[in-house]
Amino acid sequence: MAVRKHINIRHLGRVDYLPAWEAMRRFTEERTAETQDEIWFLEHPPVFTLGLGGRQEHLLDPGDIPVVHTDRGGQVTYHGPGQLIVYVLMDLHRRGWGVRRLVRALEQSVIELCGEFRVTAVRRPGAPGVYVDESKLASLGLRVRRGSTYHGLALNVDMDLAPFRRINPCGYPGLAVTQTRDQGIRGGVEEIRQRLLPYLLVQLGYDSTTGTSSATVRAPL
């Protein structure tokens, strides 16, 4: 009899970056071989995050937006309201996956979502994320600790893109940034979340879920 792959889904609403980061680290540190994998959907208030390889020179003019030096991979990016954050807390060792497979699965989920609306989205070799017409639509950054991942995907939905002009997005000077709204994909963060989830489940290989609303989720944060 095949073993069903189960994942818990948490809808956390709008959460400051630092408490969410700390919660991911704590979850990963405390998980055991029996702990279910989880996906956390949320938004962040405005914040720039600089990854482990991040270089200060790519922060051009942060102004009054906070800057957090975090432990994910990658350079600098911006998070803000109207951007769908998808944090994937997966036991890679248990699944027999490598990081590259997870990155491709997350990218493919967004690519297929775009395809639903006849928008051609692609990945770029050596530059994780999803792009439409040379503009970046979604960013990826992961951390692996004790064989498990945290951090994940940031999908621009319907947000103020101006703060991206204060940085070199993902370390690329002049990189254009886009969002689903500007590509003619209807819906705000919640609707896009609902549309993206089935693609995520297929690409990540899960066949059963448990969902928890933001109103009842307090322990992780």
* Residues marked as catalytic: 170
Residue 33 has what DSSP assignment? Answer: T
Give how far Cα 170 sits from Cα of 17, 60, 129, 215, Å. 18, 12, 10, 33
CA-CA distance, 129 to 133, in Å (whole number)? 13
How many structural domains are present in the chain? 1
**Within a domain: residue 63?**
yes
**Within a domain: residue 220?**
no
- Of 51, 54, 66, residue with least CA distance to 154: 51
Question: How high is the pLDDT of residue 189?
Answer: 97
Tokens standing for 108? 């493919």
CATH number assigned to the domain comprising residue 183? 3.30.930.10
**Within a domain: residue 221?**
no
Each residue's pLDDT, cut to its tens digit, for the chain (221 residues) gives: 344 588 999 999 999 999 999 999 999 999 999 999 999 999 999 999 998 888 889 999 999 999 999 999 889 999 999 999 999 999 999 999 999 999 999 999 999 999 999 999 999 988 899 999 999 999 999 999 999 999 999 999 999 999 999 999 988 898 999 999 999 999 999 999 999 999 999 999 998 788 765 433 344 55
Q: Which residues contact 97 (CB under 8 A, 6 or more apart)?
A: 90
Burial of 41 (0-12, 13-18, 19+ CB in 10 A): buried
CA-CA distance, 214 to 130, in Å (whole number)? 27
**Within a domain: residue 185?**
yes
CA-CA distance, 141 to 150, in Å (whole number)? 9
Report the predicted TM-score, pTM, of the whole model to 2 decimal places: 0.93
DSSP reduced 3-state for 117: coil
34-44 tens-digit pLDDT: 999 999 999 99
| Domain residue limits at 74 | 6-212
